[in-house]
């Protein structure tokens, strides 16, 4: 392993996966700006949760022109933006995150992955037990393979309910623990 002795958390955001899930599966349309996650809250949540600095990497597929306003906003709140391109049939974000997880395996540091994608199971599986690991996303859409990793110690964190990354409540259908049930939400 390399790196200094200072504790660090790597936060890897699969922006494409989370945006597609929000738009296609939850809202069933393109999200409005006010319906998108407040990404700074995710950075703050992870830093507070594990009481150590966070290095946030936000991976983007960029088939054409770089979305500068979005990149500048991410940079301003503390993310390192990783814009990627490749052949139309290449899942460039997945490839980059897989490679990054493998490289983190050779370093010190804890890992939080923000995605639902099962393509990262082998790399995350290799890290579980070696360091703190977590998966952030929408609970009902995460790949079921992450449940087995949770049984081995990976934390499962909900982007809306735990991180509170949204200004508005999302129209999600989820099983409600009775201690959280509020009938006013349904009336």
Could you tell me the CATH number of the domain that includes residue 123?
3.40.50.1010
pTM: 0.91
pLDDT of 3 reads 54
For 20, counting Cβ atoms within 10 Å of its Cβ (0-12 exposed, 13-18 middle, 19+ buried), the class is middle
Average pLDDT over residues 4-8: 74
Contact residues for 104 (Cβ-Cβ < 8 A; gap 6+):
10, 111, 127
Structure confidence by residue, pLDDT tens digits, 155-183: 999 999 999 999 988 888 777 788 888 88
Structure confidence by residue, pLDDT tens digits, 57-116: 999 999 888 899 999 999 999 999 999 999 989 999 999 999 999 999 999 999 999 999
Residue 100 is assigned to a structural domain of this protein? yes
Residue 175 is assigned to a structural domain of this protein? yes
What pLDDT band is residue 5 in, cutting at 50, 70 and 90?
low
Residue 1 is assigned to a structural domain of this protein? no
**Euclidean distance between the first and the last CA atom of the chain, given in angstroms as a whole number:** 55
Number of domains within the chain: 1
pLDDT of 33 reads 85
In the chain, % helix, strand, coil (3-state, to 5) comes to 40, 20, 40
Range of the domain at 110: 9-186
pLDDT of 1 reads 47
Dist CA 156 CA 146 (whole Å): 8
What pLDDT band is residue 139 in, cutting at 50, 70 and 90?
very high
What pLDDT band is residue 144 in, cutting at 50, 70 and 90?
very high
pLDDT of 2 reads 47
Residue percentage of the chain with pLDDT more than 90: 79
Average pLDDT over residues 119-133: 96
Residue 132 is assigned to a structural domain of this protein? yes
pLDDT at 120 over 90: yes
Residue 79 is assigned to a structural domain of this protein? yes
Dist CA 107 CA 119 (whole Å): 21
């Amino acid at each position: 392993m390399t790196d200094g002795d200072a504790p660090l958390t790597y936060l890897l955001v699969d922006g494409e996966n989370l945006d597609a899930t929000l738009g296609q599966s939850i809202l069933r349309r393109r999200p409005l700006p006010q319906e998108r996650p407040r990404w700074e809250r995710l950075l703050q949540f992870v830093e507070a949760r594990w009481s150590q600095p966070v290095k946030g990497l936000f991976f983007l597929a960029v088939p054409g022109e770089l979305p500068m306003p979005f990149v500048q906003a991410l940079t301003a709140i503390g993310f390192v933006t990783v814009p990627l391109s490749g052949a139309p049939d290449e899942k460039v974000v997945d490839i980059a995150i897989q490679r990054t997880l493998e490289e983190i395996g050779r370093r010190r540091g804890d890992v939080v992955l923000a995605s639902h994608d099962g393509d990262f199971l082998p790399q995350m599986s290799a890290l579980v037990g070696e360091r703190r690991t977590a998966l952030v996303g929408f609970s009902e859409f995460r790949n079921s393979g992450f449940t087995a990793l949770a049984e081995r110690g990976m934390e499962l964190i909900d982007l809306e309910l735990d991180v509170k990354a949204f200004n508005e409540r999302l129209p999600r259908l989820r099983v409600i623990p009775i201690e959280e049930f509020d009938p006013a939400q349904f009336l």
